[in-house]
Structure 1
Amino acid sequence: MNAADVFTTLDILLQPDPSRTVIRPFDFGYPDAFAGDRPTRVQQVASRLMALDEDMRTRMLGLLHEAMRKRHRNVDDAFLRRYAEMKDRLDVGEVSDVRDRLLLGAYFSQEYAFESAALFNPSIVRAPDERGDVGSVRFVLSLRGIGEGHISSVTFRTGTWDGDRGLVIDPASDQGVPPQIESDDEGGWVKLHSPDSRDISETVIFPTLPSQRQGVEDMRLVNFTDHDGVESVLGTYTAFDGRDTRCELLRGIDERTYEMRPLLGAMAGYKGMALFPRRIDGQFVMLGRQDNEQIWLLRSDDLYTWETGAPIMAPRYPWEFVQIGNCGSPLEIDEGWLVFTHGVGMVRGYCVGACLLDKADPSKVLARTPSPLLFPSAEQRGGYVPNVTYSCGALLHGRSILLPYAVGDEHTAFAVGKVDDLLSVMAPQ
């Protein structure tokens, strides 16, 4: 069997959808050179609104409701929360009329199409409350959505897979629900509450910390089981502020509450870090690409602090001469740790391969694919970023593999294969 024959691509695609929007904060100000001693732009807008007569404000509220209530559930709550966040900056005194609070909140909010340009770089885990049919598995899929300004957010889908070609992606809700944000300025953590979400496809995680100003990118989810048997869904992702990147970690507290924390230490300021699904020899273990070229193995006693690591796998084959990195958290099989990899070759083409790490000592590479498993085909070569085939994780069901992958940094496709077929095309190291 050839490497290119291990996986079969399914006839299912997830495409970006500009109709899916969320209400998020909108803020603005004068350039520093023009701020001077005058009122802020926020204060100017609030003053102009409150100077209107009551009839005009009533008509404006009617127009607002006509446009927004058709597209967003509980939109008044979102505007009132935004008013509460902004009221100390408005300088308009006490606003007692709830209608005026709604209007003020609306002026400092925006409707954002979070997956209008692209929906890609998928990761996948078993659903925490898995209740699939006999022989099937329920899963949660995370996706990177790109909207206006090339800003990345995280959105979700759910579905069921039977271990073969029977894959069902549940329809996404037409609602996008903004999280309520609880933050700690000193510790740098953020807790996101989405009590209005009726299912996880309504939850949108968009940038909230300064480190995330330009995006929350490439979530790598994992079903993590700690040494005390407690299971949780964790996800590493790249925070990008427009200049610098760092790795942060998302922890699912429950289906509507998430915590985001930065990772600390010398190894944390890099892309592509992915956590092993359990401790090894009492330590947390992570894969990364700290030098932008090789796959590194990191170990730590503390989930949030990563100080040391070493490269374990360097580019060897032409399709990965530029760089090699992981495609998500390792999958534990009888033979060891199965890791999907990405390689970059000619014309910055991204392909997907795999390697096998020793189960007891994952710094040892037992085998790897000399040829890519998935690559930009003639039908899948175009896109927002051409010549890119990429994934942030795969799902095991018995000895079967479901591999969601991105095409051209634009949309998401799915492929299925068998563990034994994959191992058969690897070369021992």
Structure 2
Amino acid sequence: MTRKNIRINPDFTRVIPRFFNSGNERSLQIINKVVDMEETMVCEVLDGVLKEFSCRYKNIHDVFDNHYSRISHLVPSGMKVTKERQHLLGAYFTMEYSLEAAALFNPSVVEAPDQSGLQPGEKRVIVSFRATGESHISSIVFRQGIIDKDCNITLDEPAKFLQEGKLAGEKRNDKEHFARQLTQLRLPEDLHVGILHQLTDDFTYSEIDVILRNSLRGIKDPTDQQAMKQHVLELVDACYELHFSHHTTLGERVIFPVTYTEKNGIEDARFVKFIDEEGSCTYYATYTAYDGTFILPKLIKTCDFIHFEVHPLYGKGAVNKNLALFPKKINGKYAMLSRIDGVNNYIMFSDDLYDWEEPQLLQRPKYPWEFVQIGNAGSPLWTEKGWLIISHGVGPMRKYCLGAALFDLNDPTRELGRLQYPLLMPKEDERDGYVPNVVYSCGAMIHEGQVFIPYAVSDYASSFASVPLDKLLKALLK
């Protein structure tokens, strides 16, 4: 392995404006105080806010307009509110959130859609990172870069301004169809009737989540309550779309949690460039949505990294973490890696990209450095010798290392070779961080005869390494 002399550290100055609301009662108190201010005082306070914060955003007035619109229904009816007073109210309901305050880690890398203007041997790439901030909420951020013929990477400078995607609307569910599905759970009659009674004819995941919080309070055991909630929510479509302005750069775009399924984090996105039978390209990323109680595997779809579709994954195999999609169909079926039991590697095949029902055991922990658990470190890589899977293993002292294995191209359930020793392990200056003794990756790529691997450094920062493909394959097939 050759480590690259580059370390991407979290930058706590990278902030986004978030809506800030402590409840209607306190909101009304703030609104009444601002409403009672003299207009000259309103302009004076607003002017101070603009001088201090406008340089941190492309258009802070748009932020204030948006956040004012979310509390405008609480403003006394019939009152004429000047634009300055609206912006000041918007400022009182805005907070800055530092995306990377805690960590910038678990990267993946894919070939960028635009490969124009490059020198021979160069490739433009997109690197995604898991950014973690206050309250350990994770989001996805991006950097674009160029890998040269020697597999060294040069990244664009971090964007100064950051922007969340615009939510195009959550998928609405049909109550009649949902009622038929709910019958299969055989809930207590009063609970079944109570849930349906509160639902409108069409509803979103967010709306039923609120209903379940109230309806399930009668279940005393918290474990039973959460299990019941998960079973019901699995019947609900949690799809949505995000759109970014064409005027934003890739580095400005942030995929931040927007729905209840992921309100506590979008974790460990594994991006892959997927080629279909006709040769067209789509980018997918599996990730773990976390709502503070349970997790839900989801899939991101994009063709341009401007418009994103988000879908939940279903089926007996779409559980736990560590799902990674193969970059093309195998024998006419989609293929996916998973770790449904938290210990072993599994493989699944499906005709439906979003429904995974039959996981098959693929690998068990075999060597001492992976006795605790084994999992993938991103989507498999196609080589002439077989499917190359970069793996991670956990051993003594919960130390995470990266390994590798090779599988048959036509039958990837058949292992052709596996490294006995780690491919990459934490060196001395990589052992300390938010989670010590960890190297981890969410997706590598092959470039100019090298396997290029971005990796996390102890759940805090990120770095890069490469290894000659021919030497790795030789070792795997030895």
Q: Normalising by the residue count of structure 1, what TM-score does the alignment of the two structures yield?
A: 0.92
Deviation per CA, 1:279-314: give whole Å up to 9, x if none: 112211110111100111011211122222111111
Q: Distance in 1 between matches of 2:455 and 2:77?
A: 51
Closer/same/farther in 2, CA of residues 89 and 344 from structure 1, 3 Å limit: farther
Q: Which amino acid is 2:103 matched to? A: A
1:18 matched residue in structure 2: 12
> Which structure has the bigger radius of gyration?
2
| 8 Å CA contact 1:197, 1:256 repeated in 2 | no
Closer/same/farther in 2, CA of residues 122 and 93 from structure 1, 3 Å limit: farther
2:48 counterpart of 1:63: yes
| 8 Å CA contact 1:123, 1:142 repeated in 2 | yes
Closer/same/farther in 2, CA of residues 282 and 86 from structure 1, 3 Å limit: farther
2:108 counterpart of 1:128: no
2:3 matched residue in structure 1: 9
1:3 matched residue in structure 2: none
More displaced 10-residue stretch of structure 1: 86-95 or 312-321: 86-95
Runs of at least 5 residues in structure 2 that lack an aligned partner in the other structure: 171-203, 206-236
Q: Distance in 1 between matches of 2:103 and 2:456?
A: 10
Q: CA RMSD in A?
A: 1.7
2:139 counterpart of 1:153: yes
Deviation per CA, 1:222-267: give whole Å up to 9, x if none: 0011223221111111111122111111112433222222112222
2:7 aligned counterpart, secondary structure: strand
| 8 Å CA contact 2:151, 2:452 repeated in 1 | no
1:140 matched residue in structure 2: 126
Q: Distance in 2 between matches of 1:315 and 1:163?
A: 36
1:374 matched residue in structure 2: 424
Deviation at 1:321, TM superposition (A): 0.1
Equivalent residue in structure 1 for 2:334, among 278, 281, 284: 284
Deviation per CA, 1:135-176: give whole Å up to 9, x if none: 110000000111111111111101111242432111111111
1:153 aligned counterpart, secondary structure: strand
2:262 matched residue in structure 1: 212
Closer/same/farther in 2, CA of residues 390 and 94 from structure 1, 3 Å limit: farther
| 8 Å CA contact 2:418, 2:476 repeated in 1 | yes
By percentage of residues, which structure has more strand? 1
| 8 Å CA contact 1:226, 1:279 repeated in 2 | yes
Closer/same/farther in 2, CA of residues 333 and 95 from structure 1, 3 Å limit: farther
| 8 Å CA contact 1:331, 1:339 repeated in 2 | yes
1:12 aligned counterpart, secondary structure: coil
Q: Normalising by the residue count of structure 2, what TM-score does the alignment of the two structures yield?
A: 0.83
2:299 aligned counterpart, secondary structure: strand
Closer/same/farther in 2, CA of residues 278 and 93 from structure 1, 3 Å limit: farther
Deviation at 1:361, TM superposition (A): 1.1
Q: Distance in 2 between matches of 1:282 and 1:327?
A: 24
Q: Distance in 1 between matches of 2:80 and 2:331?
A: 59
| 8 Å CA contact 1:47, 1:92 repeated in 2 | no
Deviation at 1:195, TM superposition (A): 0.9
Deviation at 1:109, TM superposition (A): 2.2
1:392 matched residue in structure 2: 442
Count of residues in correspondence between the two structures: 413
1:48 aligned counterpart, secondary structure: helix
Deviation at 1:52, TM superposition (A): 1.7
| 8 Å CA contact 2:150, 2:448 repeated in 1 | no
| 8 Å CA contact 1:177, 1:197 repeated in 2 | no
Q: Which amino acid is 2:136 matched to? A: H
Closer/same/farther in 2, CA of residues 171 and 318 from structure 1, 3 Å limit: same
Q: Distance in 2 between matches of 1:280 and 1:92?
A: 62
Deviation at 1:346, TM superposition (A): 0.4
2:54 counterpart of 1:28: no
1:421 matched residue in structure 2: 471
Q: Distance in 1 between matches of 2:142 and 2:87?
A: 29
| 8 Å CA contact 2:120, 2:149 repeated in 1 | no
Closer/same/farther in 2, CA of residues 376 and 417 from structure 1, 3 Å limit: same
Q: Distance in 2 between matches of 1:342 and 1:165?
A: 22
| 8 Å CA contact 2:151, 2:447 repeated in 1 | no
Closer/same/farther in 2, CA of residues 265 and 41 from structure 1, 3 Å limit: farther
Deviation at 1:357, TM superposition (A): 1.2
Q: Distance in 2 between matches of 1:89 and 1:307?
A: 48
More displaced 10-residue stretch of structure 1: 152-161 or 56-65: 56-65
2:378 aligned counterpart, secondary structure: coil
Deviation at 1:272, TM superposition (A): 1.0
1:164 matched residue in structure 2: 150
Q: Structure 1 stretches (4+) deviating beyond 4 angstroms?
A: 89-96
Q: Percent same amino acid among aligned pairs?
A: 39
1:101 matched residue in structure 2: 86
Equivalent residue in structure 2 for 1:266, among 286, 310, 316: 316
2:197 matched residue in structure 1: none
Deviation at 1:345, TM superposition (A): 0.2
Q: Distance in 2 between matches of 1:142 and 1:45?
A: 39
2:430 aligned counterpart, secondary structure: coil
Deviation at 1:381, TM superposition (A): 1.1
1:142 aligned counterpart, secondary structure: strand
Q: Which amino acid is 2:65 matched to? A: L
Q: Distance in 1 between matches of 2:419 and 2:301?
A: 32
More displaced 10-residue stretch of structure 1: 253-262 or 68-77: 253-262
Runs of at least 5 residues in structure 1 that lack an aligned partner in the other structure: 1-6, 30-38
Deviation at 1:391, TM superposition (A): 0.5
| 8 Å CA contact 1:163, 1:400 repeated in 2 | no
| 8 Å CA contact 1:24, 1:178 repeated in 2 | no
Deviation at 1:134, TM superposition (A): 1.9
Equivalent residue in structure 1 for 2:26, among 33, 38, 41: 41
Closer/same/farther in 2, CA of residues 91 and 394 from structure 1, 3 Å limit: farther
Equivalent residue in structure 2 for 1:225, among 259, 268, 275: 275
| 8 Å CA contact 1:314, 1:324 repeated in 2 | yes
Q: Distance in 2 between matches of 1:72 and 1:341?
A: 40
Q: Distance in 2 between matches of 1:139 and 1:375?
A: 25
Q: Which amino acid is 1:9 matched to? A: R
